[in-house]
Amino acid sequence: MVVPQSSAMHEIVTAALVREGRVLLVHRSPNRRAYPDVWDLPGGHIEPGETELAALAREIHEELGVRIATGSATHLCRVEAGRGEESVRFSAWLVGEWEGTPTNVAPDEHDEIRWFRPEEVPPLAHELVGPAVVEAMRGAHT
């Protein structure tokens, strides 16, 4: 008898860096296995033992070369997608403060980064996240 293994859900954390009414998005490289060739929030996998904010700080530093002020992070939304081994939980955070200038330090993951005003935000890889980001940007006085 085969007993199905319980599959661990992949947990992803992303950040909406917002400054002067604009949000920073990354364009996922066309050769990415998951969600290729689309705009998205920067972020990545939560490693075992990491909190969401610790993972967020690490991922944003790895991808954009900046150090976020985790105290400035506000939780935006959580979205679950997929089934079984493909199931993923996305957690998006709004970040208003960081040190450094965001640069694409992960060109193998993203082929472009760009600032967008709320009305310019393109459809994101996770369609439910985009409206939450735009709504938060319109409510934020940054």
CA 86 – CA 117 distance, rounded (Å): 32
Residue 126: its pLDDT value, please?
A: 80
pTM for the structure as a whole: 0.87
**pLDDT digits 0-9 by tens, 54-70:** 999 999 999 999 999 99
Amino acid residing at 49 = G
Rounded CA separation 75/96 (Å): 12
pLDDT per residue over 86-98, tens digit each?
788 999 999 999 9
Name which of 2-16, 44-58, 62-76 the model is least confident about.
2-16
Domain boundaries, the chain: 10-139
Residues near 56 by Cβ (< 8 Å), separated by ≥ 6?
13, 14, 15, 43, 68, 70, 73, 93, 95
* 3 state DSSP class of 28: strand
The b/e string for 3-21 (b: 16+ C-beta within 10 A; e otherwise) is eeeeeeebbbbbbbbbeee
Query: Domain 10-139 is in which class?
Result: alpha beta
Asked whether the predicted pLDDT for residue 8 surpasses 70, the reply is: no
